[in-house]
Structures are given as structure tokens and as C-alpha cells.
Chains A and B, each alone.
Chain A
Amino acid sequence: MPTLAVPELSLVALVGVTGSGKSTFAARHFAPTQVLSSDAFRALVSDDEDDQGATRDAFDALYYVAAKRLRAGRLTVIDATHLRREDRAQVVAAAREQDVLPVAIVFDLPPEVPRSRNAGHRNLPDHVLRRQQEALRRSVRGLRREGFRKVHVLSGVDDVAAARIEWEKAYNDRRELTGPFDVIGDVHGCLSELRELLGRLGYVVTPDGAHHPEGRTAVFVGDLVDRGPDTPGVLRLVMGMVAAGTGLCVAGNHEEKLVRALDGRQVRIAHGRAESLAQLAAQPAEFRAAARDFMYGLVSHYRLDGGKLVVAHAGLKEEYQGRSSGRVRAFCLYGETTGETDEYGLPVRLPWANDYRGAAAVVYGHTPTTVPEWVNNTICLDTGCVFGGALTALRWPERELVSVPAEREHYEPVRPLAPPPRPPDLLRLDDVAGTRYVETRLLGRVKVLEENAAGALEVMSRFAIDPRWLVYLPPTMAPAPTSTLDGLLEHPSTAFEAYRSAGVTRVVCEEKHMGSRAVAVVCRSAAVAAERFGVSDGSTGAVYTRTGRAFFPPELTEELLARVRAAASGLWAELATDWLVLDLELLPWSAKAGELLRRQYAPVGAAARAVLPEVLSVLSSTGARLGADAVGELAARQEVRLADAAAFTAAYGRYCWDTDGLRGVSLAPFAVLAGAGGVYADRDRDWHFAVLDRLVEADPEVFRTTRRITLDLADSAAEGVEWWTELTSAGGEGMVVKPFDGLARGRRGLVQPGVKCRGREYLRIIYGPDYTEHLDRLRERSLGRKRSMALREYALGLEALARFTEGEPLWRVHEPVFAVLALESAGVDPRL
């Protein structure tokens, strides 16, 4: 019974004359969607599967689909005769293009079989069939040379009937191994350091192997050999570990070249190869042969731990992971080079890691640096041991680095060891543009529409601060359900009721400060800013608006941050952090909204106050001529409007005062968003205010307290209503009601993190001076979208902070931040 080994990810070409049973075979062994048949594609493009004139278009379409499938990592079978060399060349090219292995399954049957089958459903003339048979015979021998990596020939009807497919995993697929692992950087013959490092990692080391009592596995990133003092010793140790299953090793460029040298092929004897050759020459021939075979058999890369970890010598971009082709191997061994050389004559490498967006962590070596640094979920462990640096290991999944210093400089470096060039933290348009789904831990996937992303791109590009500071954007907040109480649009009773019905029993009512929403990121020092935020221009934080703009010019920002830092001096140790993100309101409103006030609010009041007395005077003169009844109703309405205009002017005026530099500016913080310890969203409101009150105590000039009361909704809701009435009748903006526990889940999932209840006078700024005259119509407002938006933005904001605190790369933090801005650009009634 013939067993056909087929790699799980490959492009399979069925080769055989018409009527040799290819389609029947395919239907038996592969899923219908895996099989792309030339007949079917001819039918798709021409409505006739026998229309030979449509062949060209049919294959265009077929290969288009094949490329999409292979790019997505799906096995694909092409059911066509493949009797012409150029047809097969297309198969091989398509496989290489997608970095998968091309496989041929040949149907070599006696001539009479297809002939009898053809008689059944196709009228292929005998001479055509004969020509096909002839072509097939000529083809079979050369298939491997043509590039097919596996060739299976089924000779005879019985073979075809009995054949069985055996799925073969890719060599690089070791996802079933879950470690834990210790990934070890470039050893380059430094046996002594390697033994010490393994010891430090807890391995029991012998001359020809090592094992870890807790069953850990060492993974070598390649370049075991060359330059160093004991290449054979290192090989012996690692070969022993690999044989015993306590170690894995991927190929490095030095192994590849050394094998060529050992095989007597033309290799430049440089880069420390001479040392290896000399050292190996002193070894017994059997060892040399075993070492040669070991190095020859090394796989280009491994996928480990369920696919979460990829190890390759020079790193590996996402689309090559799990693939097999010459260029994948070349990338693994040498990286991507520009073809240019630098001032030391070394190849200039393309910084693939800067663009890396894959989910798997890529651990690699090859490029010596002084310190290993994570860049977009990739890390280079080559710390130049042989050049007098250190030998470094990464514990996985712990992500801890362990290293031992080199005993000495074993080999003079061509280029002095330097820290890795700071990646430019350059975001890519693909990170934010287009329709996107952002995964959040609170709400699952949040969709961002393309047009909203486009709207956000402009604001983000033109006005937002450095994205490295922009680790959060605040969500919008929904108002309380519309009140039906006389003369009111909003009232706390509906907020309380909404929380009660969501299952929340305790809430906090917080005074709403009418200023501008602000986020403050503050670091303990410029050094912390450089280390944690990657900003090394000396700035120590940022104070920005809800769309990511800086509130103040740099000097003033630093002045404000210094005040915040001083007030927070007691918090660093207590919260075990050296940076904080605070959510706050910055007052006065006029500090940021000055232009808006002068261009929109004040003009409305000015126009109203100027025109209405004139109208009233016209009405009164007309009334004097024609009798008051002629204009009475109209005049009464204008009187009300004039009073409304005065109330409107007074309403915005309450939130305006002069500032000069920081004088007059104050901050009313209401949440400690995040610090080194994580995101504090799940702390209750008392915890937040306990921390924030300390800031107010420390610097009452800059910080302003937020008055609040805590209510048990079962029995003290009336107290909340009373408090709100008191606040708003004194001209206050109103209050925000929040679940006491902070992050709250109710009967229907995530609960609104807060709802606002705004005062009657304040709402004139929002709904217009005369809104009180139109309440009946204005009550027809629909809050559903606003509420859903508030929740989605809340989830996105916390997602960004969580990603940041977990040390994820910039693009991952930026993604949900950008999404908040994109959602905000969507059209929702802005008065809500």
C-alpha cells in the first residue's frame, strides 16, 4: 500500500493524462475546497469546462486563488494534467512565491485505462491521448530537478486505489513543545562561558550534554562555532543535548559556511573559520563527521510553545514563519540585507524588527549588541561573548534575561560593540488605517470603521503629541437617561435608576468640574521617561487633551509636571512606581477653550443682547401705532429670549477666568489610571480619592479637590438628588455618577463607568440659550449610540493602558488609542 508523505503546508500538483483518475483521487483524499481543478475554473470563467479557449483565464484565476490560500497557510492541490514543463514550472514558482514546498503526485497508468475512461465522458481523440502518455513518460524523471521537493509516482490502478496520504509536519513546527525554554545567544566556541551560563540557569552540565532537573529545554540560536577557543567542545555539548532532547538548535550562518568548508567546497576562510577548522582537525574523524552531519541537519527556525515563540538565527518576519523555501532559510541565517556594506565592510541589514507586527515573539542572535532590548516583540540575544561581551539567555515564558560576562576578548571585533540603534518607534499607516478590529480584554473585538480612522488620522498627525506619551485617551461619557421632570432635561434620579437596574448597589456622586478633560503622564525623572517611555529629549511627561493635543508649550508643561511630581513625591514608593498616568479636569475652561469662547459662545450672547432690545423697540413702536395686541405674543417671546441670552452669557462666564502661565490654572484629578503596578481601573473610588487627596493636600494651589458623596442606592438616593440640586442651583455644571467599585459588570455585561447629570443652567451652553423653551422636542433624544460608544471607548482606553503597562510595543499601544479617537470622530449627537 503506497504511503504518500505530504507536508501539511504545501502546493500539490497532480500529474497525469486526461482520465487517469486525478479528480477522483483528489476527492477521496482532500477536502473539496483544497482542490483547485482546471476544469472547474474553466467552467467558472466560461460556463464550459471543456472550453480550451478559456484555459488561460482559468489558470489566471486558479493561481490567484491558490496564492491567497497559500498566503493564509492552507494546503492547496491543483488538479490539472501538468504534462507540459512550463505548466509545472508555474506550480513550482507559485509554491516558492508563497514559501511552501511544491509536491508532485504522478498518475502513471497503463494507456488503456484512461482510454476506456475517456470513451465514457470525453471524446479525446486517440492521438491526443497518445501524445499525453508520451509527455508523461518524459516528465516523470525530471520532476525533482524541476524543483518539486517531493515526488510520488502511483504506478497502476491498484496503487492509485490503495494510496494513503501521510501528513508530514514542517520541520520547523514544534509548536507542541511548551518548554519552559532557555533561549541562548551566539556561543561562537565559548565553551567555558556556555557551561557557566547553563549552570546559572540550573542545568546539570556534563562534557557531552546537560539537562535541567525541572525539565527545561535549552534552545540555541545558532552560531555555536567559529572565532572562539573551543568550537568542538561547544558542538559536543550541544549535540549531546539535542540528541538527549534537552536542547534544540537552529542553524546559524557560521554553521552553514563551516559545513561547506568541511565538505571541501570553496569558502572564504575568514570570520574565525580557520580556528574552527584547526580545532576540528585535532578531533577524531568520527566526531568531525558527526559534527558535520549535525550542523548540516540544522533547521532554519523553530516555532515553539503553541506558536507563541519563534527562534531563528537572524530573526524572521511574520510572513516567513512556518514556511519553507530558500529565501526563508536565507532570511533566517543572514537576515535581510540591502546589498550595501557599511564603513566596516559589514553588510547593511534592513531593520525588519522595526516593522515586525507578528503575534509570536521572535528571539534571535546574529547581530552583536551590548544590551538585548525588546523591539516589537522581538529580541536579539547576541551580546558578543566571543568579542568580550557576555553570553545571554532568555528564560521563556518568564522573559527574564540571564547572562554571564565573557572571560576575555577571544576575538577582536570588526566593529566595536555598541548598544542596539534605538528603533525610531515609527508607526506604520497599516497600524491604524482602514477598517480595523481592535481586540480588547473588556469587550472583545471593537470595530473601527475606515472613514472614522481617516478622520482620526488627520487629527492625530497634525495635532497630537508624540505617540510615545499618548498611552491613553479618555472615553466619552453618556448622560443620564432623559428626565421627564418639569423644566429639566437631566436629573440624577434617572442615573440612579439606571445603575440600580444594572445591578449596581453603591455609587459615588462626584462634582463635575467645568474645565477641560486632561490626561497627565508624569515621570519621576527624565531618566525614567527615557527608559519607560523611550523619550529621551529631557521631557518628563505630558499633559494633553482628549484628542491628544498638548495643553501648554513644552516649558510650561514641564513647569506643571514639576509641580505634579513634587506633590506626588510620597506616592512613588507607596505605589511602587516611578511614573503615573492621571485622569483629570484642567481648569479654567477658558484656558483651552478661549478661542472657542471668543469665536462661538461669546458671539452668540453678544448678538442676542444686541439685537433683541432693537426688536423689542420696533415691536413697542409698532404696538404704539397699531395697539399692543398686534404684537403682544411676539413681544412676550422676545422678552423671554432676552432673559435666556443673559442666562446663557452668565453660564459660560462662570467657567472663564484669566490665567497667566500656570497662575490661575488648576487640576482636579479624579482617577489614577496606571503606574508600574498596572492599570488601576479595578480599584474602588475610595482608593482613587485616597491617593488623589494626597496630591491636593501637598499642593492645594495646583490641585483642586473633587467633592463627592457615596450612596447606597437602596436607601440614600434622595440624598444624591438633594446634593445635585444644591450644586446646580449654585451654578455648578452638575455631577457624575459612578459605580463605587470602579470597573463594574452588571446583569447585561459591562456597566457604564460613569454617567453625567448636568445642571439646567449649564445646559444652555450645550443646547443653546433658549433650550428651555423647547424641552418637549429636545427630550426626543436617543442615547443608545452614545452609551455604546462610551463603553467601547472605555474598553479601548483601558486596553491601551494595559498594553503599555505590560511592555507591549508602541504600535500595540497606539492601536487602541487611535481607535478611541476614531470612534470619537463618528457622528453622534454632540450635545449628549
Chain B
Amino acid sequence: MLLTVSTTHRPAGDLGFLLHKHPDRVQRFEVAAGVAHVMYPEVGDERCTAALVLEVDPVDLVRSARGPAGEGFSLGQYVNDRPYAASSLLAVALGRVFGTAMKGRCDARPELAATAIPLEVHVPVLPCRGGPEFAARLFGPLGWAVAANPIPLDPAFPAWGDSRYVDLRLAGTLRLADALAQLYVLLPVLDDAKHYWVSGDEIDKLVRAGGDWLAAHPERQLITTRYLAHQRGYAAAAEARLAELDDRPDPDEPDERVGRTGHDAGDERLPSLAEQRRAAILGELRAAGAARVVDLGCGEGTLLRALLADSAFTELVGVDVSVSALRRAAARLAEAQRVRLLHGSVTYADDRLAGFDAVVLSEVVEHVDPPRLPALAAAVFGAARPATVLVTTPNAEYNVRWDTLPAGEYRHPDHRFEWTRAGFAAWSEQVAAAHGYAVRHVPVGPVDTEVGAPTQLAVFTRGS
């Protein structure tokens, strides 16, 4: 992988002093991922260019487990872009090779080190999740003119479109130390969009360490979250491996679509839709007098946390099919005594879930393939058989109210279907009749006269 830095400050050759690397030598540095080479392809009074070439040993990358974070025992470790694309490995090499320059120290030219000088940076292959405009969003506010040109995936298959890489060129007048520090932090941020939960403390720490430019950056929140997520990234190895057996990408790899059309995308008020949904569920549970509640498909435990706030719920059980989601839920609910987390599935009958007052399936059914819904109904209404079952699911009719959701698309890429109000009513009435429950429907969120509310809630009550 490659990064070049040029300046047109005169005399341009002073770049060698600022970088602490002699322009007439090709220098070699052992770094964690392989060997870094520093050289100057161009040295003149008007213009001087330094290049950092990082040669990664792909075999060692795997054996020393320094591959892409979290890919575990997956093929992704072997066939990956690390040897070519400017990732965190390059950032690490940058820090190692130009560490002194990054701190702004230059005994030979101290004033120059403290001065903003005209700089050009070229990163020919930069992974940029979020598209070329995302690079502009990150570098633009720092004073750079940004040119990010997408690189096509494979000219033999034009239909595949562009890759996630851009050829990045930055031009601006900055202190060299700042430029290097920005690259050091932002390269991994651009590369890695994995979404993990990061605590507030850690964010504060990075902001303090990141200096003025980061503190003032309009995308500060996003930068810090992504940066920290990258540092702590891990994935359930089994999950990754099984996905790959199926010739599918690592499920933990970010999907660009998630960011755009995630559950509640497209509406500024949407975080509050999730809250309204939780409030509606809580209200129904209280009305039903439920004390022992199962959150089936609890994910990372957001609803459980809300339930924990009310001591009327004496026993809470969260069930999810994803071990990694449960781990994150456990981290959130660490101190709670009244809650247990179980690994389970909505399509298998589970004796541990029998005898509760209520089972909640919040935004779960739409993640189940329609042919498997009878198994879900049998497991919940037939086997677990609580007095109350709450089911929430999107109202497909409402999707037209979201401008950013393309017509015909689901709210989440993993949704297997989204029901209209009539569709949900038909299903829930049939299930209720088959298992001896009564059902009523409650809209959640702002009710639109034409298309209804964004979320639909069904309240099932077991007959006597």
C-alpha cells in the first residue's frame, strides 16, 4: 500500500527535515505488519514528494492474527485487501515511521514545523465506506480540498459497479504534524464502519487525545465511535465461518444499506419511534399485570433495559439467537439481578420459556422467513403459552411516508417481509384462533389517516 505527501513550500526539500527522513536514501523499517519503505520520488526546490510504501506479508498477517479485525477463522483473512489498501495497517506504519513528525517536533526547522504549509496527499487506494462523499465529509472541514475518485470493481464485469475504494487526493495548507495525525486517525475510520456499542467514557478519552482538530470536527461523534469500534472489533467466529461456507460475506461486515435504511431510517423523529414502541409495550405489559416477561429476540437488550427500570417486572428473560447480540446485551445489563439472558430461537420450542406472564416479540417476526412462521407460532403460542403475547412489526403501508426509503424496499435488509395492516391482522387473527387467544391491534407512532402508524402492535390474550 502506498501514501505520498508532497509540498510546494519553498525550499520544498525541507520536507526531509520535517519528516526526519533523508531525501537521498531509501529507508527500510520493520513494522508490525511487514516492512515500510520511505523514499522520495521527487525532490526539488519547488516540489518535494515523500512516499511511504508498506509491504505486508500476507502469510504472516494470518499467522500472527493481525488480519482484519474480527474476521476470525474465515477466508477473509487470506483473500483480503490488506496488502494493497490503505487501512489501519498503514496508519500504524505512519505512526511508527513518522511519529516524531506527527508530534510536530523538528529541531532543524522548528518554525516550519509550527507553520501551515501547502501540502498534497495522495492515497491511491483508500477503502472508503460510505462512498467518495464521505471522504469529503471527513477531510473537508479540516481545510482540505478533497478529490476522491471511485475505483471500479472489475472492468470485466461493469455491472458490478464501483468498489469501496477511492483514489484520494488532498490539497491544503496545514501543519504537517496535523496532516499526519489526521491521516492516522481518519484512515481506519474511513475503512471500517463496523457498528459496535462504545461507551461514553471511551469517546471522551479519544476526544481529549485527538487534539483541537478532532474536538472541533462536525463529525466528531461519528469519527470517535468508528475509531473506537475498530479498536475493539471482534466477531463471532462461528457466524463468520458459516456465512463463508455459503459463499457469503462475513455477516459482521458492514452493509452500506444498513446505514442508510436501518430499522428506523429516513425520519428524523425515528429514534423516538423506537422509544414510542417501547413505551407502548411497557404500557400493555403493565395493563396486563405481567410481572414475569420474556423478550424473545431481545437483541442488544434495549427493551430489557427499559423494563428493568420498572420494579413491577420481577423476572425478565431475554432470548436471542445471536450469541454476539447476547454478549452485547450482557454488557449493557451487567449489574441487573432480575434479568437472565438465554440463547434460543423463535422456531424451536423451549421449555425454559414456559409459564411466563408475557412474551414480547418486538420487531422480530419480520426477520423470520414466511414458511417458518407456523413454527414460530407453535413455539410461542403453543409451547410457551403465556397469558399475554405482544408482537410489534413494521406497517409496510407507512413506508411511502419516508422519502429516503426507495419504493418497494424494506426498512432493513434482513427483513423477509413487511406486512400491511391487513396482512398483519390476517396472520394474528389466524394464530390467535388456532391457539385459543384473543387479539387486538394498536397503532404505534404518529397515525397517518391514509396509511396508518409506522409500527403495528398486536396484543394477544390467552382465553380461559
- Complex contact A607–B84 (CB within 8 A): yes
Contact A765 B79 (CB under 8 A): yes
B42 interface residue (CB < 8 Å to A): yes
Residues of B within 8 A of A465 (CB): 369, 371
Chain B residue at smallest Cβ distance from A431: B348
Question: Is A487 an interface residue when CB atoms closer than 8 A count as contact?
Answer: no
Interface-facing stretch out of A558-566, A595-603, A696-704: A595-603
A123 at the interface (CB under 8 A from B): no
For chain A, the bracket of interface size reads: 35 or more
B318 at the interface (CB under 8 A from A): no
Q: A596-B249, A618-B51 are in contact. Are A653 and B58 (CB under 8 A)?
A: no
**A274, CB-defined interface residue at 8 Å:** no
A829 on interface, CB distance cutoff 8 Å: yes
A830 within 8 A of B: yes
B348 and A428 within 8 A (CB) = yes
A424-436 to B contact mask, C-beta < 8 Å, 1/0: 1111111111000
Report if A546-B124 is in contact (Cβ < 8 Å); known contacts: A427-B375, A602-B160, A622-B41: no
| B140-172 residues at the A interface, CB under 8 angstroms | 151-154, 156-157, 159-160, 163-165, 167
How far, in whole Å, are A446 and B410 apart by their CA atoms in the complex? 42
Contact partner of A599 (CB less than 8 A), chosen from B58, B253, B371, is B253
CB distance from A519 to the nearest CB of B (A): 13
Q: A601-B79, A622-B51, A653-B157 are in contact. Are A824 and B344 (CB under 8 A)?
A: no
Query: In the assembly, what is the distance between CA of A355 and CA of B348, in Å?
Result: 12
Q: Check if A516 is an interface residue, CB within 8 A of chain B.
A: yes
Q: Report the minimal beta-carbon distance from B273 to chain A, rounded to whole angstroms.
A: 24
* A341-B180 Cα distance, complex, nearest whole Å: 78
- In the complex, what's the smallest C-beta–C-beta distance from A235 to chain B, in angstroms? 39
Asked if A766 contacts B84 (CB within 8 A), the reply is no
Q: Could you tell me the distance between the alpha carbons of A606 and B83 in the complex, rounded to whole angstroms?
A: 12
Number of A-B contacts (CB under 8 A): 243
Using CB atoms, name the residue of chain A closest to B253.
Answer: A599
B233-274 interface bits toward A, Cβ cutoff 8 Å, 1 = contact, 0 = none: 000111101111111110001000000000000000000000
A829 and B378 alpha carbons, distance in the complex (Å):
39
| A598 near B321: Cβ-Cβ < 8 Å | no
Task: Give the Cβ gap from B202 to chain A, nearest Cβ, in Å.
Answer: 28
Report yes or no: B382 in contact with A611, Cβ–Cβ below 8 A.
Answer: no
Q: Tell me if A81 counts as interface (CB < 8 A to partner B).
A: no
Question: Taking the complex as formed, is B76 at the interface, i.e. its CB lies under 8 A from any CB of chain A?
Answer: yes
Whether A606 lies near B163 (C-beta < 8 A) is yes
* B58: A residues at CB distance < 8 A: 768, 770-771, 774
Q: Is B108 in the interface zone, CB < 8 Å from A?
A: no
Q: Is B275 an interface residue, CB under 8 A from the partner? A: no
Bound CA span A92–B321, Å: 42
B345 touches A770 (CB 8 A): no
CA distance A600 to B75 in the complex (A): 10
Say yes or no: A595-B238 contact (C-beta < 8 A), given A457-B345, A774-B59. no
Do A611 and B2 have beta carbons less than 8 Å apart? yes
Give a binary string over A579-618; 1 marks a CB under 8 Å from any B CB, 0 the rest: 0000000000100110111111111111110111011011
Q: Which of A454, A549, A637 contacts B246 (CB 8 A)?
A: A549
Most A CB contacts (10 A, CB to CB) among B343, B352, B367, B464 go to B343
A475 CA to B367 CA, complexed, in Å: 28
A181 vs B351: C-alpha distance when bound (angstroms): 36
- Given the interface pairs A461-B321, A766-B79, A824-B242, the reply to whether A614 lies near B124 with Cβ below 8 Å is yes
The answer to whether B124 and A611 touch across the interface, beta carbons within 8 angstroms, is yes
> How far apart sit A770 and B198, CA to CA, in the bound complex (Å)?
37
- Looking at the assembled complex, report how far the CB atom of B381 sits from the nearest CB atom of chain A, in whole angstroms: 10
Which of A427, A456, A595 is within 8 Å of B242, CB to CB? A456
A431–B350 alpha-carbon span in the complex (Å): 10
Does B372 interact with chain A (Cβ within 8 Å)?
yes
List which A536-560 residues lie within 8 A (CB) of chain B. 537, 545-547, 549
Q: Which residues of B contact A826 (CB under 8 A)?
A: 238
Q: Which residue of A has the minimal Cβ distance to B325?
A: A458
- In the docked arrangement, what's the CA distance between A599 and B2, Å? 22
- On whether A626 and B26 interact (CB within 8 A), knowing A451-B238, A607-B85, A614-B124, the answer reads yes
**How does the 8 Å CB contact mask read for B338-361 relative to A, with 1 for contact and 0 for none?**
000001111111111000000000
Complexed CA–CA distance, A600 and B127 (Å): 12
Q: How far is the CA of A603 from the CA of B163 in the complex (A)?
A: 6
A649 to B237, CA, bound (A): 27
Shortest CB–CB separation between residue B338 and chain A, in angstroms?
23
Across the interface, name the chain B residue whose C-beta is closest to A645: B84
Q: Are A610 and B165 neighbours in the complex by a CB distance under 8 Å?
A: yes
A610–B125 CB distance below 8 A:
yes
Chain B contact residues: over half helix, strand or loop, or mixed? mixed
Q: Could you tell me the distance in whole angstroms from the C-beta of A442 to the nearest C-beta in chain B? A: 22
| Cβ–Cβ < 8 Å partners of B350 in chain A | 428-429
Is the CB of A345 closer than 8 A to any CB of chain B? no
Bound-complex Cα distance A596 to B153 (A): 12
Residues on A with C-beta less than 8 A from B323 are 454-455, 458
**Cβ of A426 and Cβ of B75 under 8 Å apart?**
no
Contact of A598 with B160 at beta-carbon distance under 8 Å, contacts A428-B348, A634-B53 already known: yes
Distance of B194 from chain A, by nearest CB (Å): 14
Closest A residue, CB atoms, query B4: A618
| Least Cβ–Cβ distance between A661 and chain B, in angstroms | 16
Q: Please, how many angstroms separate the alpha-carbon atoms of A826 and B237 in the complex?
A: 9
| Interface flag for B322 (CB, 8 Å) | yes
B53 touches A827 (CB 8 A): no
B374 at the interface (CB under 8 A from A): yes
A830-B247 in contact given A432-B348, A604-B79, A614-B124 (Cβ < 8 Å): no
The answer to whether A766 and B75 touch across the interface, beta carbons within 8 angstroms, is: yes
CA distance A460 to B246 in the complex (A): 13
A501 within 8 A of partner (CB): no
Docked Cα-Cα span, A549 to B244, in Å, equals: 13
Q: Is A625 an interface residue when CB atoms closer than 8 A count as contact?
A: yes
B60 to chain A minimum Cβ distance, whole angstroms, is: 9
A462 near B242: Cβ-Cβ < 8 Å? no
Distance between B300 CB and nearest chain A CB, rounded to angstroms: 15
Tell which of A455, A605, A766, A830 touches B238, judged by Cβ atoms closer than 8 Å: A455
A51 at the interface (CB under 8 A from B): no
Whether a CB of chain A sits under 8 angstroms from the CB of B73 is: yes
Cβ 8 A contact of B75, one of A607, A769, A831: A831
Smallest CB separation, B444 vs chain A (Å): 25
User: Are the CB atoms of B41 and A829 closer together than 8 Å?
Assistant: no
A residues at B contact (CB < 8 Å): 340, 355, 424-433, 451-452, 454-462, 465-466, 516, 537, 545-547, 549, 589, 592-593, 595-608, 610-612, 614-615, 617-619, 621-622, 625-626, 630-631, 634, 637, 641, 649, 653, 656, 658, 765-771, 774, 777-778, 821, 824-831
Could you write out 27 A-B pairs with CB less than 8 Å apart?
A426-B375, A426-B379, A428-B349, A431-B348, A454-B238, A455-B239, A456-B242, A459-B243, A516-B247, A546-B245, A592-B247, A601-B79, A603-B81, A603-B164, A603-B165, A606-B152, A607-B127, A607-B151, A612-B84, A618-B41, A619-B39, A619-B53, A622-B41, A625-B24, A658-B159, A825-B239, A829-B73
- Other 8 A-B pairs with CB < 8 A, given A596-B244, A631-B39: A355-B349, A426-B348, A428-B350, A598-B160, A610-B84, A610-B165, A621-B42, A626-B39
